[in-house]
Amino acid sequence: MAKQNYYDILGVTKGAASDEIKKAYRRLAMKHHPDRNPDNKDAENKFKEIQAAYAVLSDDKKRALYDQLGHDNFENAARGGGGGAGPGGFNGFGGFENAGDIFGDIFGDIFGNARGGGARQKNRPQRGHDLILNVKIKLEEAVFGATTTIKVPQLVNCAECGGTGARKGSKPVTCKTCGGSGQLYIQQGFFSIQQTCHECHGAGETISDPCPKCNGRGQDQIQKTLSVKIPSGVDDGDQIRLAGEGNAGARGAPAGDLYVQITVAPHKIFKRDGLDLYCEVPITFAGAALGEEYEIPTLEGKVKLKIPAETQSGKVFRLSGKGIKGMRGGQGHLFCKATVETPINLNSEQKETLRKFDELLAKDRKKHSPISKGWFESVKDFFGKFA
């Protein structure tokens, strides 16, 4: 099987817009997030692929170079392999010196910068990870809004050490192996390959006396209870952002955000399409033929719907303004589909009455059954072609 490129990983086309890429990333990140797939190595690896692909395609400069070099040459260059370079260097970049400047700018925040800029960025306290939590609500809650309580598994700074990971009264010390940069460099040909320091794992600091409460991690796992206000008019797939309610950042950095992903449960009566609602209204045979008034449920109470005489099954009636009021304005409608219900469990008297009624119609069926008339004439014309 051919190796997937970054567009394939996110499931978008090469010409996809930024919003489409972001939407695809969020959907896949939520599906494969390690918190939702504990002890699932395949999901963890897929999540890493998604993160790497989005890091490149969400940045215009990186994406432009990725499109120009192609997947294999881009990754090879990022690793310091110099793939795709001929005697004159990378085509269009004016030789290796210029190529080095470009790769330093573009790959610096992903793979590190050989001149040290990437190391300083790496050693800077990193903002905490965003979290995504799926919340299932009723249609009525989506239409009118609601307040719901959620429980979020969350990383917070250790109360004992304040997030440093060191025992109270002590503090981390500068890593002797990397000198505090968090990175080690190996010169290889034209390129300087950057690797994360094996001693401090990129932190630039080591802890000689770890905090006994968090064992030096600096963070604890808790389950936090939050109250979330669902705004009126939300739809299936919408997200609500709760700033600062994600995982805590390392070494005092800001916390990430929590994204509440809305799923609207199916309703027994209504189906939703944007701001419009749809429902089926069962009517009797006599009501369809003679006309009748029915009580129709709406999300705001009952209304009267007059079914005119000679209504055929499948006829749709629109009740203006009885749909959903949108978050950003607009008002939907309610569409009611009339469905003529065939009587069941008839007794002998009822059956005999229907037979007599059908005999009366048979005397001038073309007049009373326009749909049947048109259908049989179409069938006659169809088979006439083969005569």
Q: Summarize pLDDT for 28-84 with one digit per residue, the tens.
A: 988 888 777 878 888 888 988 898 889 889 888 888 888 888 888 777 766 654 444
Backbone conformation region of residue 291, classed left if phi is above 0, alpha if psi is from -120 to 50, else beta: left
Per-residue pLDDT, 130: 92
CA distance 269 to 296: 11
The CATH superfamily of 6-123 is DnaJ domain (1.10.287.110)
Domain ranges of the chain: 6-123, 131-264, 271-381
Per-residue pLDDT, 240: 93
Q: In this model, does residue 194 exceed pLDDT 80?
A: no
Contact by Cβ (8 Å): 325, 277:
no
Query: What is the pairing mode between strands 205-206 and 173-174?
Result: antiparallel
The CATH superfamily of 131-264 is Heat shock protein DnaJ, cysteine-rich domain (2.10.230.10)
Nearest CA to 275 out of 331, 335, 236 is that of 331
Per-residue pLDDT, 335: 96
Q: How many C-beta atoms lie closer than 10 Å to residue 316's C-beta?
A: 11
CA distance 28 to 5: 15
Per-residue pLDDT, 92: 38
Two structure tokens written together for 379: 């069938």
Start-end of H helices in the chain: 6-10, 18-32, 41-57, 60-69, 71-78, 96-111, 117-123, 139-144, 285-290, 348-362, 365-368, 370-384
Per-residue pLDDT, 83: 41
Query: What is the pairing mode between strands 258-264 and 239-242?
Result: antiparallel
Of 20-24, 87-91, 147-151, 319-323, least confident by mean pLDDT is: 87-91
Averaged pLDDT for residues 279-289:
92
Give the pLDDT band (50/70/90) at residue 188. Answer: low
Query: Most distant CA pair in the chain: distance in Å?
Result: 104
Give the pLDDT band (50/70/90) at residue 373. Answer: low
Burial of 372 (C-beta count, 10 Å sphere; 0-12/13-18/19+):
exposed
CA distance 348 to 70: 78
pLDDT in tens, 85-115: 433 344 434 333 344 444 444 444 444 444 4
The single residue listed with the structure tokens 């005092």 is: 252
Give the pLDDT band (50/70/90) at residue 387. Answer: low
Q: Which residue has the higher pLDDT, 75 or 152?
A: 152
Topology agreement, domain 131-264 and domain 271-381: no
Q: In this model, does residue 122 exceed pLDDT 50?
A: no
Write out the CATH class of domain 271-381. Answer: mainly beta
Nearest CA to 251 out of 212, 209, 207 is that of 207
> Rounded mean pLDDT of the chain?
81
Consecutive H or E run containing 278: strand 276-283
Of 110-124, 203-217, 256-270, least confident by mean pLDDT is: 110-124
Nearest CA to 255 out of 109, 161, 156, 152 is that of 156
CA 16 vs CA 7, 31, 68, 137: distances in Å = 9, 21, 16, 31
For 287, how many CA atoms within 13 A lie in the half-sphere containing its CB? 17
The single residue listed with the structure tokens 């994360």 is: 196
Two structure tokens written together for 362: 């048979």
Averaged pLDDT for residues 184-212:
78
Consecutive H or E run containing 61: helix 60-69
Two structure tokens written together for 57: 């395609």
CA distance 195 to 111: 9
Contact by Cβ (8 Å): 204, 175:
yes
> φ and ψ at 116, to 5 degrees?
105, -15
